[in-house]
A and B are shown apart, each in its own frame.
Chain A
């Protein structure tokens, strides 16, 4: 063959559809990926497959009736969503919650943060090809937290536990012992993860230096939560605008150095350690008393508006509530952290290989229920 003919051969750009039904997209996410060989040239994100028009539904529900819907925004961190919503309504009403309710809220929110991060890192390891074992280990630990929640509120996934003015039930007798046992059980497990996964050579090779998110880009895209902190920004709403009793709690904000996929994973592992610290302190300082104020089942809220953001496992969850004086919210905007965290995906994956899309997506720990609402 004449060698001069071969130089005319070139590779065509190739378009592949990833999703909406794909095991690695963490829900129904549709990525349109343009490839040059194995290199990603362009990536377009299509979302909305799980859109349930929560904001419209809210306008037709009373304030209390909307609480079960918040369970389903980010369905692996329902407690934190409940918390974000009820604190926003309480801010709008200027309602002070009893001390005991604040502590209970902190305990369940931090336990749920651990449960959520366990899913995050478990599925991330699964995406990288550590098939089943890390995920099963994470689910084994998460199961213990779910059992605790089952005893506290009777539900395993969608808790519907917080109420405007407090919590639905007081903690059951003996639950503090169970939680203490869980803390003692969980601490060595986190060290196990470090030896099994965090510094595993294959895991490092797949995640180190992949999907590097610089500090300025992260802020520009309004990325929040562990993803922002992995880029080296020391920013946590629990410290910046402390709500409930977080100002009395002693904990550190873990930050990353490079902002790559491994840092995002590592920050989550460290955050679980910090959450255990918070739960331990809150249990120790738990005051006696009634865990709820009698706010009544139907609230009529004076006209006004309030914006409240809380630190969810995935970032800053904001509720913007406008009241017109009736028993229904006039407008309720949910600012979902994953929505902004996903927006920058095309930016991160350009120039990487196809398999790295999965790695970056897994490390961002998005949740489609929250993005589409």
Chain B
């Protein structure tokens, strides 16, 4: 099956949501935070049919936290990466668990590791760390008495 090119997918989304920007380098679609649910529902439906939310994660860039969503379409054979820039002061974002069910655990892991709170998530608990754990381990400013960074080469 012929794959839809990345720029064709972009052109399609941009026609509906002109606010979406393409990130230089990674080629990800950067979307405004409040549009997330709308964009997600649009991508899920026809004609784009992104039926598989493959991976959700975050990157702590210190001045901002980047949310990363990797989407695939199994039926149409195509891929797309979404990004959202969050300010570290406001880590609230809409949950996609109502759109893709795989978002449930993937968002829980992101909450556990980065402290991003997903509003509308059915079960917002920690998942890998103990339920009473303090702090968010994958944040760059995280410290723990037993965690000693190795000297850099």
Chain A residues in contact with chain B, CB under 8 A? 47-48, 51, 53, 55-56, 60-62, 216-217, 219-222, 233, 235, 240, 298, 304-305, 307, 309, 316, 318, 320, 322, 327-328, 330-331, 333, 335, 339-340, 343-344, 372-373
B87 contacts A by Cβ under 8 Å = no
| CB–CB A320/B137 < 8 A | no
Measured between alpha carbons, how far is A322 from B109 in the docked complex, in Å?
A: 18
Instruction: Please name the residue on chain A nearest to B59 by beta carbon.
Output: A331
In the complex, chain B residues whose CB is within 8 Å of the CB of A61? 150
In the complex, chain A residues whose CB is within 8 Å of the CB of B25? 304-305
| CB–CB A343/B104 < 8 A | yes
Q: Among the listed A55, A309, A318, A328, which residue makes an inter-chain contact with B152, where contact means beta carbons less than 8 Å apart?
A: A328
Q: Pull 25 A–B residue pairs with CB atoms less than 8 Å apart, ordered by A.
A: A47-B128, A48-B128, A48-B130, A55-B138, A56-B137, A217-B101, A219-B52, A220-B52, A220-B100, A221-B101, A221-B102, A222-B106, A235-B74, A240-B77, A304-B26, A305-B26, A318-B55, A320-B68, A327-B153, A328-B152, A330-B59, A333-B68, A335-B57, A343-B104, A372-B128
In the complex, chain A residues whose CB is within 8 Å of the CB of B113? 55
| CB–CB B150/A219 < 8 A | no
Tell me the count of chain B residues lying within 8 A, CB to CB, of chain A.
35
| Most chain B beta-carbon neighbours within 10 Å: one of A61, A221, A309 | A221
Q: Give 1 or 0 for each of B74-106: 1 = CB within 8 Å of chain A CB.
A: 100100010000000000000000001110111
| Most chain B beta-carbon neighbours within 10 Å: one of A53, A56, A333, A335 | A333
In the complex, chain A residues whose CB is within 8 Å of the CB of B130? 48
In the complex, chain B residues whose CB is within 8 Å of the CB of A309? 54
In the complex, chain B residues whose CB is within 8 Å of the CB of A51? 128-129
Given the contacts A235-B74, A304-B25, A48 and B129 also touching, CB distance less than 8 Å: yes
In the complex, chain A residues whose CB is within 8 Å of the CB of B126? 48
| Most chain B beta-carbon neighbours within 10 Å: one of A60, A219, A309 | A219
A15 to B: closest C-beta gap in Å? 18
Interface positions of B from 107 to 153, Cβ below 8 Å from A: 109, 113, 126-130, 137-138, 147, 149-150, 152-153
Q: Give 1 or 0 for each of B47-84: 1 = CB within 8 Å of chain A CB.
A: 00001111101011000000010100010010001000
| CB–CB B57/A320 < 8 A | yes
Given A330-B59, A335-B57, 4 more A-B residue pairs with CB atoms under 8 Å apart are: A51-B128, A333-B68, A335-B54, A372-B128
In the complex, chain A residues whose CB is within 8 Å of the CB of B149? 60
Measured between alpha carbons, how far is A322 from B26 in the docked complex, in Å?
A: 10
| CB–CB B105/A339 < 8 A | yes
B57 to A: closest C-beta gap in Å? 4
Q: Among the listed B51, B127, B150, which residue makes an inter-chain contact with A220, where contact means beta carbons less than 8 Å apart?
A: B51
| CB–CB A62/B105 < 8 A | no
In the complex, chain A residues whose CB is within 8 Å of the CB of B109? 339
Q: Among the listed A55, A60, A222, A344, which residue makes an inter-chain contact with B52, where contact means beta carbons less than 8 Å apart?
A: A222
Measured between alpha carbons, how far is A148 from B104 in the docked complex, in Å?
A: 41
Measured between alpha carbons, how far is A235 from B72 in the docked complex, in Å?
A: 12
In the complex, chain A residues whose CB is within 8 Å of the CB of B102? 220-222, 340, 343
| Most chain A beta-carbon neighbours within 10 Å: one of B26, B127, B149, B152 | B127
| CB–CB A307/B81 < 8 A | yes
Given the contacts A331-B59, A331-B60, A298 and B153 also touching, CB distance less than 8 Å: yes
A85 to B: closest C-beta gap in Å? 15
In the complex, chain B residues whose CB is within 8 Å of the CB of A330? 59
| CB–CB B81/A48 < 8 A | no
Measured between alpha carbons, how far is A132 from B137 in the docked complex, in Å?
A: 42
In the complex, chain A residues whose CB is within 8 Å of the CB of B106? 222, 340
Given the contacts A61-B150, A304-B25, A328-B152, A233 and B104 also touching, CB distance less than 8 Å: no
